[in-house]
Each structure stands twice: as C-alpha cells, then as structure tokens.
Amino acid sequence: MPPANAAKSRLAYIDWMRGLACLLMFQTHCYDSWLSPQARQSRFFMYSQLGGTFPAPLFLFLAGISFALVTEKLWQKDVAPAQIAGSTILRGAEIFTYGLLFRLQEYVISWGWAPKTDLLRVDVLNTIGLSMMLMGVVCWLVPVLAPRRQREKEEEQEDERAPFLPRVLRQGWEKMPRIPFVLAATGTALLISLLTPPLWTTWRPTWLPWPLESYVDGVHNLGVPQQGIFPVFPWTAFAFAGLAVGFILQSQWARKWEPRAFFALGVAGGLLIEFARWLDAQPRQFYSVQDYWHTSPSFFLIRVGMLLVISAASYAWCRWGLANWGFSPLILLGQASLLVYWVHIEFVYGRVSILPKRRMGIGAASAGLLIISLAMLALAYFRTRTKGRGLELLPWLHRTPAPLGQ
C-alpha cells in the first residue's frame, strides 16, 4: 500500500470501529424497544443483547485512543502540559454538555409522561465527557509526577536515537514520556475496574445525593444500581484502556512496524481473554459479592481483550480489505456517530418510533432495524457531504427562484 493510503488507514480503522459500534447499538435498541414479550424470551434476543454489551465500551475505548492521538499531536507542537490539559478538559466538558442537552431534548419530546428525574439520567455521552476530563487531568499530572530518573533515562535514549543532531535538537527528538503515560493509563483502568464491585455493593456512597451517586454506581433514583446507566465505575476504565493503547500506537516502533503492532495487539487481546476466563474459573474469588455482567473485573478484561482483537481486525480490513477500495458504510456511520446516536433514539424509543413498542416479532423488528440503519446511513452521508460547507450553501439557499416558465 502506498504511504498515503497507509496513513489514511491508520485513522480509517477508528471510524470503522465507531461505525461498528453504531450498528451494534442500532440492533440492540431496535430489538429491545420493539420485540414482544414472547420474542424477548428467545435465544435470538439473548444474543442480540449480548452484542449490546459492546457499543458503549467501543465508544469509550475509541475516545481514549483519539485522546492519545490529540495529546501526542499537541506535545509535538511544544504545547505546555497545562495547556493540553485545559483544551482536552474543555472538550470533555463540551461532550458532557451534549449529554445534558440530549437528556433535556428527550424530556421535552416526552413531555407529559416522562418523569423529571430523566433529566439527570447518566447516559453514555455524560460518561464519555467525564472520561475525557479525567484523562486530561491524568495526562497533566504524569509529566509533573514522572520520576526524574525516568526523564533522565529517556533523555539518554533520545541522545542515542539521534546522535547526529545538536544537543538542543536531540532534546526535542521525542519529548513525550510515553512509558509513564502508558503505565498511568493502564493502572487507572485497572484501578477503576477493581473498585467497581465494592462501590456497587458494600462501599456504595449512599451519603451522596442520588444524582451524584448515580455517577459512581448508576443507582439513579431507584435505590439500587440500574442497567442502562453508565457510571464512571466501570465504564471510564474502557476509555483509559484506549488511552494506553493510543499511546502505544504512537510510539516510534509502532509507527515503523504498524502491521506488526496491530497484530501484536490482536494476540495480546486473545491472551487477555483467556487469562480473564482462567481467572473467573478459579474456585476462590476475591470479591464475595459481584455482578459478573456489570461489575466483574474478569468480564472487563474479556471485553478489553475483544476490543484489542476488533482493533487489529479493523485495521487489517481498512488497510487490505474492501474498506480500502471505496465506499464504506461503517466508516461513514463512524464519521457521524454523534449525530446518528442522537437522532436514532427518537425513531426507536421516542414518540415517533417507526414500529409499535413491545409488539413486534423478530421478522418485523429486523425489517425496522434495516430501515433505521439505512436512514441513519443516509443521514451520515448528508452530514459528511455538507460538513464545513455551510457558508458555501448560503448563497444557494438564498438564491431567488426563477419565474415559472423560464
């Protein structure tokens, strides 16, 4: 592959994975909203919901990778750590605000029957925004707290990498202390995962008002942690896992041997899955109380392993597969993921649902899923075609129509 295409595939796989997350999200929401009680007892619905355990981790994991790419780019431009933290935290606050606006929109559209507590529901957009703010704080602290010995060792390595350059240029050869960043991100992800079971049970911060406690354990206003809520524990751990992977992929070795790096990620993912399964099969468990499908560190490791495998497969598909040869629906969906997430909810769960809720069989719900997917693909196509062209379209929109007959 030519170098330009290789560089393009490096970013295309991120959009492709976001598009995959959108597709998995569509099927999860459609079947959950439309299938009848009888159909919900089927094995088909069980597997559909199992696939639904991946969209949120994918979005958060990719947010971490993208965060690492942006941070690295700013480091290379000699932007100070405090400024990097400020800009990235501000971007996280923007996403968090989108989450609040999304809840407000849902409440207004559902006026009359939606409870006011829905305004404070912790959705995935809120968690992505909080994750970005937390990652900004960690990426600001790492250069400050990195041991001096580590920095001096990296400076010596930089001298070895570029001995032909003057000292002043060798110091800027690779300024980012990547190893501390990877270790900090990995450690934070593991810490969040390990703290999740007790924070959902014996260590629950019940002394907090429920809107704040819900960001810790997803309790909402119902007294116990709920499904469909996305609290910091454990969901933010996926973002920090992506952050660690993103910094690894920005290393000189990964850039030079990119296919090998992604192959290594896939192998590491497979090993992590097997390790997590072995860990869960042990007769003695560390936690006396845990919910495997929602709080178990073993299930977290399995999903991270799957994310690594998906990353490797996505890169290979975008570099050597059909996604490299032209139109890719998943890449298109991924480029407009926020918009299609925002819009499809109303046509699946809202008052304008295209099918009656909880009344459909599998066949009818699948037809509805196809319609939703095609509609969101068309919306994504329109969005990417018109993005950044608002000023160009204004003269056309204000053009005086010709008289009839001309």
pLDDT of residue 55: 94
pTM, to two decimals:
0.86
Q: Per residue in 197-223, pLDDT tens?
A: 999 998 999 999 999 999 999 999 898
| Residues in a beta bridge with 360 | 35
pLDDT of residue 324: 66
Cis amide linkage into residue 234, ω under 30° from 0: yes
pLDDT of residue 168: 36
**Mean pLDDT score of the chain, rounded to an integer?**
84
Query: Is 75:122 a contact under the CB 8 Å cutoff?
Result: no
pLDDT of residue 203: 92
Q: Residue 290's pLDDT band (boundaries 50, 70, 90)?
A: confident
Q: Per residue in 239-264, pLDDT tens?
A: 999 999 999 998 888 888 999 999 99
Compute the average pLDDT of residues 89-107: 92
Q: Per residue in 366-386, pLDDT tens?
A: 999 999 999 999 999 998 888
Q: How many C-beta neighbours within 10 Å does residue 128 have?
A: 27
pLDDT at 170 over 90: no
pLDDT of residue 323: 65
pLDDT of residue 397: 33
pLDDT of residue 176: 53
Q: Per residue in 3-48, pLDDT tens?
A: 344 445 457 899 999 999 999 999 999 999 999 999 999 999 999 9
